[in-house]
Amino acid sequence: MGPRSLDDQFVGYRRRLIEQIRRQGISDLEVLQIFDQVPRHIFLPQGVWPRAYEDAPIPIGYGQTASQPSLQALYLTLLKPTPDEKVLEIGTGSGYLTALLGLMADRVYSVERVRELSARARSALDTLTLHNVALLVGDGTIGWRKYAPFDVIVVSAASPSVPQAILEQLADPGRMLIPVGARDLQELVMVRKQDGEVTEEVVADAVTFVPLLGRYAWTPESGEGGQ
Ligand code: SAH
């Protein structure tokens, strides 16, 4: 028997990560299968690879963190993008959630304010030959007007309120998840648009995300330095 390939080894780690996600109450089989298809380590700096398959937030540099996988699984379970839908993601970060979304949706448009993170995400996404993902470096609080409206909007950083510009780019019908609240503690809010009406529902309390920094959220001066 030859030596196991690197990928074989990571399949085992991935299965254990999926077990941890299940233990957090995620039982949607389609979502769990998506996690089985994407190696998380290639989205993370090599220095943190030993922790890549823990169900934990992981530092990715520039004061930012890759979100906890079970929280991302909750996002995917609540939003369930379908193969005909267009998704806007604010806060590409590592690009891991971007990849998961890319496997579920028709197209994913993802905005990140830190150029270096976007570039790193691009090369990881290219490794997986995910060709339905477009990345933009810029302020996501103003959305990505060129490709609007979006059936699904995923905001992965915490905002003091729902930015109006993003809400305007949500399709009707459309759904969006966004952490809203104070700098250090937020509620996860599901925003739905249907027949011209916008409704908001708190779907999880006490979540913590890095701050959304931009024109329609926290200003960089007041927001920088979040965990
Ligand atoms: N889903 C990502 C989350 C990364 S953390 C992951 O798991 O890796 C949130 C990201 O939002 C950070 O990379 C941060 O730089 C980015 N961000 C913060 N404010 C932003 C803004 N106004 N526009 C775009 N990206 C923003």
How many angstroms separate the most distant Cα atoms in the chain?
62
pLDDT (0 to 100) of residue 220: 80
User: Which range marks the domain in which residue 73 is found?
Assistant: 3-222
- What is the per-residue pLDDT across 105-133, written as a single tens digit (0 to 9) for each? 999 999 999 999 999 999 999 999 999 99
Put simply, whether the predicted model's pTM sits higher than 0.75 gets the answer yes
Round to whole Å and give the CA distance between 40 and 38: 6
- The residue behind tokens 């960089």 is 220
Indicate if ligand 1 lies below 6 Å from the C-beta of 111.
yes
Q: Would 10 be classed as within a structural domain?
A: yes
Q: Would 44 be classed as within a structural domain?
A: yes
Q: Would 215 be classed as within a structural domain?
A: yes
Q: Would 61 be classed as within a structural domain?
A: yes
pLDDT (0 to 100) of residue 5: 52
pLDDT in tens, the chain (227 residues): 334 455 667 888 999 999 999 999 999 999 999 999 999 999 999 999 999 999 999 999 999 999 999 999 999 999 999 999 999 999 999 999 999 999 999 999 999 999 999 999 999 999 999 999 999 999 999 999 999 999 999 999 999 999 999 999 999 999 999 999 999 999 999 999 999 999 999 999 999 999 999 999 999 865 444 43
How does DSSP classify residue 218? Answer: B
Indicate if ligand 1 lies below 6 Å from the C-beta of 69.
no
Query: Are the CB atoms for 168 and 143 separated by under 8 Å?
Result: yes
Among protein residues, the one with the nearest Cα to ligand 1's atom 13 is 93
pLDDT (0 to 100) of residue 178: 98
Q: Would 78 be classed as within a structural domain?
A: yes
How remote is the CA of residue 27 from the centroid of ligand 1, in Å? 27
How remote is the CA of residue 21 from the centroid of ligand 1, in Å? 22
Q: Would 137 be classed as within a structural domain?
A: yes
Instruction: Write out the two tokens for 89.
Output: 């993601």
pLDDT (0 to 100) of residue 10: 80
Burial of 43 (0-12, 13-18, 19+ CB in 10 A): buried
Q: Is residue 70 annotated as part of the catalytic site, yes or no?
A: no
Q: Would 227 be classed as within a structural domain?
A: no
The number of distinct structural domains making up the chain is 1
Indicate if ligand 1 lies below 6 Å from the C-beta of 90.
yes
Q: Would 63 be classed as within a structural domain?
A: yes
CATH number at residue 60: 3.40.50.150
pLDDT (0 to 100) of residue 7: 63
**What distances in angstroms separate CA 84 from CA 76, 117, 152, 219, one per listed residue?**
15, 28, 11, 35
